[in-house]
Structure 1
């Protein structure tokens, strides 16, 4: 495994893989597999890197890191970040509940989402949480509910900046340009409808427009993308300023997320094989472009809260996935020499395809981490799918009972787990130093069937 780059809180001691100060083989034995494991210290370290680096380049105002709850919507994980001082962006009622249970101060929560019920809007207004409007009708809903409550709704416009000068392909879908995808994606208010909305604020006395929000996503690591995005945001701020009147200026500007993780090991991004800039590069281009752009349109960045919404970049390297080899198969007939390692995890737990010629994540044999990786083997999952997690991938000679780990599974992996084959979903533990604790218990078979209802007429069968 000498070619596998590991983050500083993963190490090999006496042949075994450790996360922080704990042996992963012992974690697997004590808590069972398959299992998601999160390092608290990596997560906090990643948050502080964003907070401190961006703040260094933005002395005139506050940087507010609004970590994407969706990357790992676990209450205890959210409490770790809350304790560290991190805010959060929430998409929908479930993520808002995660933030509230996670102890996030209301002023550091944003309620996002393309379809918002009256209930979630009412809850946000009542608690003083700002709402990111995603369609033109939500303005009227906020006015109606805020008036009923006798309160003021604080809202932001989720805009779709048009990056006319950017001819870069998307890392998600290389056949398409970023500027096209950011216009055709479902979320955000179409610019033509933003223009329709601006005069309406004068008729909404219970609604205060506090800022603008955008979120392009992980389309590119290149600083030129961020420069074009932020400049386009500023261009729209000017248009909103003119359209709303009353010398309006934003108190909050969110440039969204889409930052790559340091090692950029991404199962959902098609193109990652080019240099990942340093965080300082992102911080410098975003803050300078915003500052200079605001000055050019006659507005000041002084005192403006500048929000960033990292997801992958904060969570990805904080997690690993442990699983075990339960059977070995070896075909030597018909001129073949082919091995399979049957494991207790699955593509449906990892949100990957059924045939992975290259492993979707770096793969380590936890109890043989220092051995020679020279034996081709199919590492396969437990479901009835093809479920080939790694095809003829070179590993140490595996045996029944070996513990394996996929690295860099901390973001957007566990939330996608499902119950294919009626399988219970794995649990999650949190590691800090030499301490390991449950933060989400494994699903039981009874829980898998807890929503099933049998009509009376079928009960006598």
Structure 2
């Protein structure tokens, strides 16, 4: 039997869209819409690809995949990554709690994030989890809490390399340079404060500086950016080593994330329309430049644990979003326009109200082989403008059809909100023929469960 494969885990069979071996039309009928659906095997394949690529290019030491929890913060997803040996970078108390619920070994967790308070720092010290310092005040908290607990804190410095010779503009914000964006962003220790922190760390009885961390983000896929980042990162490590006495070398070096998904169809990145590196490309470029830059400074890379933090690259194409067509509206007098009214919303998809270039590939799941018929505006259910996709060519669409939005696996469901008092959608996990809830749909009662009526209101 011949199937049309969109990728290894998405196919068209008998005119229906399948994710792994599950018919998306049957999933929509059984579990309801709107609905997020994640492919377990696609996620595992992506993780293994990044691990294999970086391990082959970094023989000096261990490679640790610190999968970004924020991209898809669901316990079952985290447990799959844990099963596959991935660690995680956590930003804030909620993500640390999810890492613990996801059974991530403590040695494979990092407590990261700006604006950390004493509570999370104390918890990390008590559990023996490394703390990624973001400011001098966090170093003070570490010293005080470690002394109180009588347990040494292991710390990592989150630094912001100055990309002095890079003049590229950001894919995130095309009117600004990457150099500017990486310095004005809130996270990371400002250089002027970093140099004052090193003497304190050198003399500290309670904090052990074990590594460095940087995370520029999804600013560019171009080799020039990654070369500049790793070159100037190594230069900053050299300066830290000198201030530490000249013989200090990090045991852990995190290069952060910012890797593009292979299809690179993004909701929050305006510029994506140029070649996307493979995991092997990223690994070769990053490790080669970092090794070369460290050697030039006379610093050894032997034994360094190299950490990477893929988020989009792991999750983006692993999930789809299913929505049912409620109605078709037509205008033929003043303008020629057709609207597909759906039961989903921009508020569930993390997008704005008018998408002239829709951030998702859209398929008619129940007639996926049908030829294009006409342009439609795909619109959502709230009182917002809600043009999820403007004038997209589709087969002839009717009420009760099922639409599938592809590449909705990263930074989508996590942004869902309750505008118009709507309950948020649930999420299914599929593996082969199997399907199961991993996050059930919110109920209408749950939307209002935090509301409190003061006693003076009848």
Provide the TM-score with structure 2 as the length reference. Answer: 0.98
Q: 1-side partners of 2:375 and 2:161: how far apart?
A: 48
- How far apart are 1:279 and its partner, in Å? 2.0
Q: 2-side partners of 1:234 and 1:5: how far apart?
A: 43
Equivalences for residues 20-31 of structure 1 within 5 A: 20-31=20-31
Equivalences for residues 182-261 of structure 1 within 5 A: 182-245=182-245, 247-261=247-261
The corresponding residue for 1:404 is 403
Q: 2-side partners of 1:18 and 1:5: how far apart?
A: 9
Please, which moves more after superposition, 361-370 or 383-392?
Answer: 383-392
The corresponding residue for 1:317 is 317
Equivalences for residues 150-169 of structure 1 within 5 A: 150-169=150-169
Aligned pairs, how many? 455
- How far apart are 1:156 and its partner, in Å? 0.5
Q: 2-side partners of 1:419 and 1:211: how far apart?
A: 41
- Partner SS for 1:232: helix
- Partner SS for 1:6: strand
Q: 1-side partners of 2:210 and 2:389: how far apart?
A: 49
1:378 aligns with 2:360: no
- How far apart are 1:5 and its partner, in Å? 8.8
Give deviations 1:295-330, integer Å, cap 9, x for gaps.
222221111001111110110000100100011222
- Partner SS for 2:378: strand
The corresponding residue for 2:424 is 425
- How far apart are 1:335 and its partner, in Å? 5.0
8 A contact 1:355–1:390 mirrored in 2: yes
- Partner SS for 1:215: coil
Equivalences for residues 249-398 of structure 1 within 5 A: 249-332=249-332, 334-398=333-397
Q: 1-side partners of 2:452 and 2:420: how far apart?
A: 18
The corresponding residue for 1:449 is 448
8 A contact 2:117–2:138 mirrored in 1: no
- How far apart are 1:449 and its partner, in Å? 0.6
8 A contact 1:172–1:271 mirrored in 2: yes
The corresponding residue for 1:440 is 439
- CA RMSD across the alignment: 1.2
- Partner SS for 2:217: coil
The corresponding residue for 1:85 is 85
Q: 1-side partners of 2:40 and 2:389: how far apart?
A: 28
* Unaligned segments of structure 1, at least 5 residues: none
Q: 2-side partners of 1:254 and 1:279: how far apart?
A: 16
Q: 1-side partners of 2:174 and 2:187: how far apart?
A: 20
Equivalences for residues 61-140 of structure 1 within 5 A: 61-140=61-140
Provide the TM-score with structure 1 as the length reference. Answer: 0.97
Q: 1-side partners of 2:155 and 2:220: how far apart?
A: 28
- Aligned in 2, Cα 1:367/1:204: closer, same or farther, shift over 3 Å? same
- How far apart are 1:202 and its partner, in Å? 3.4
Q: 1-side partners of 2:372 and 2:159: how far apart?
A: 49
1:143 aligns with 2:155: no
Q: Which runs of 4+ in 1 moved over 6 A?
A: none
Q: 2-side partners of 1:264 and 1:50: how far apart?
A: 16
- Partner SS for 1:268: coil
- Partner SS for 1:250: coil
The corresponding residue for 1:38 is 38
8 A contact 2:50–2:280 mirrored in 1: no
Give deviations 1:45-97, integer Å, cap 9, x for gaps.
00000001110011111111111100000000000000011111110000111
